[in-house]
Chain A
């Protein structure tokens, strides 16, 4: 069966890129197998667990449900782009560490990306909004209380400038 790759231009973690992607790949597969960005986790692959959450034009989406060619023209942020550079964690990541919100760690990249998306839109989320925004991310270690605490801590302590880059 002949398939033709699709040329796409996009921005990944602030870096402009051009690639040819197979039309039968999802964004999740492209990130992991095409680019070697394995921080975005492959969990259920049916949009239920949120482990593959990335930011797509400023919104949280499941990378397992986006076809790779659909990223043409888009700006995508993954967990690899969250910390600025070197070894210093982003304040959201730091809050996850300080609140013991990381257990086995598999859901953490998705949780962090959902947190980024939430705080981009709502700097002081109510508890209801906070929970609703993380409802699409499952933690099988059930560390939800610590995760919610971490999001709250990040929301309260973080400077706005730490969110600026995700708007681009």
Chain B
């Protein structure tokens, strides 16, 4: 049974923040996670964020600011995002079904903080920062520090996620986004890898970014591997070597679990594949 005591849909951000300040309301965006959570029957008061004008995508120099209420469908069909944040574009296009993408928002995906949230590993590649607002003011937090664990974030009481600021990818960056699941469509991810590679003129790796979902306790970049790859000549052996180190890091940080005998070889193979795919996009000139 759903128990909703009150439903409010303010039209001004200040009004919404004031209501949130009372500490009694649960914010609603697209509802694709929330409506299922409401079925636990715990009585709640709902504050709908839909009319606050948070569905914007702003292009400003080397950053793009995305309002928290932008849907996955809108992200996946936006040409600017396809060009400058290609991994996010891909990640959003793989969320659930069309019905889910038409309602589900990027903000809801982040705040819900499921380990399988598709946009989080993608946004980590672009050094995403979150703009959080409350009646007390605004603060900015790196996404890498926002997610504390499965379904746990550092969102404060009375706070809402206003927008997400992403650093654009360098032009001519190769990338990959791999979502491991049991089926192709409406697929909840078991493991997610996002990578981007930039090559120097001398054929060596100029910069590389790797992030992973459902590998470490929280979705995160793998800076140790990133550093190790810079300046090296790309090869299958190099990528496999890097992937092996990532697998050891996974076991060290997440512990030896019942799933480890499965996850370890899978991570090694997928990360090798992810890096190869990113690099082959560069070579094929398929850089979008």
- Report the minimum CB–CB distance from B2 to chain A (whole Å): 4
Residue in chain A with minimal CB distance to B5: A3
Give the docked Cα–Cα distance between A53 and B97 (Å).
Answer: 11
Is B98 at the interface (CB under 8 A from chain A)? yes
- B4 to chain A: which residues have CB within 8 Å? 3, 23-24, 67
Chain B, 144-188, CB within 8 A of any chain A CB: 185-186
A50 contacts B99, C-beta separation under 8 Å: yes
A133 contacts B3, C-beta separation under 8 Å: no
A136 contacts B96, C-beta separation under 8 Å: yes
Residue in chain B with minimal CB distance to A62: B99
- Report the minimum CB–CB distance from A103 to chain B (whole Å): 20
B31 contacts A67, C-beta separation under 8 Å: yes
Residue in chain A with minimal CB distance to B48: A70
- A48 to chain B: which residues have CB within 8 Å? 186
Residue in chain A with minimal CB distance to B51: A73
Which one of B28, B99, B185 contacts A47 once the chains associate, using CB atoms below 8 Å? B99
A66 contacts B31, C-beta separation under 8 Å: yes
Is A149 at the interface (CB under 8 A from chain B)? no
- A60 to chain B: which residues have CB within 8 Å? 98-99, 102
- B9 to chain A: which residues have CB within 8 Å? 69-70, 72
Give the docked Cα–Cα distance between A48 and B35 (Å).
Answer: 13
- A98 to chain B: which residues have CB within 8 Å? none
Give the docked Cα–Cα distance between A153 and B28 (Å).
Answer: 39
Q: Count how many chain A residues have C-beta atoms less than 8 Å from C-beta atoms of the other chain.
A: 34
Known contacts A70-B48, A132-B185, A136-B186; A6/B7 CB under 8 A: yes
- Report the minimum CB–CB distance from B32 to chain A (whole Å): 5
What 1/0 flags go to B1-19 for Cβ under 8 Å of A?
A: 1111111010000000000
B102 contacts A61, C-beta separation under 8 Å: yes
Is A135 at the interface (CB under 8 A from chain B)? yes
Give the docked Cα–Cα distance between A133 and B98 (Å).
Answer: 6
A46 contacts B36, C-beta separation under 8 Å: yes
B6 contacts A65, C-beta separation under 8 Å: no
Which one of A25, A65, A135 contacts B32 once the chains associate, using CB atoms below 8 Å? A65
Q: Which of B4, B32, B46, B73 has the largest count of A CB atoms less than 10 A from its CB?
A: B4
B97 contacts A50, C-beta separation under 8 Å: yes
- A69 to chain B: which residues have CB within 8 Å? 7, 9, 48
- A93 to chain B: which residues have CB within 8 Å? none
B100 contacts A23, C-beta separation under 8 Å: no
Give the docked Cα–Cα distance between A157 and B28 (Å).
Answer: 41
Residue in chain A with minimal CB distance to B39: A45
Is B103 at the interface (CB under 8 A from chain A)? yes
Is B43 at the interface (CB under 8 A from chain A)? yes
Q: Which 8 pairs show the lowest CB-CB distances between chains A and B?
A: A136-B97, A135-B185, A23-B7, A24-B4, A23-B4, A59-B102, A69-B7, A24-B2
Chain B residues with CB under 8 Å of chain A are: 1-7, 9, 28, 30-32, 35-36, 38, 43, 46, 48, 50, 73, 96-100, 102-103, 185-186
Q: What would 11 A/B residue contacts be, using CB atoms closer than 8 Å?
A: A2-B5, A3-B6, A47-B97, A61-B103, A62-B32, A67-B35, A70-B48, A136-B96, A136-B97, A136-B98, A136-B186
A60-B98, A70-B31 given; 20 more Cβ-contact pairs under 8 Å: A3-B5, A4-B6, A26-B35, A46-B36, A47-B97, A48-B186, A61-B99, A65-B32, A65-B100, A67-B46, A69-B48, A70-B9, A70-B28, A70-B50, A114-B99, A117-B98, A135-B97, A136-B97, A136-B98, A136-B100
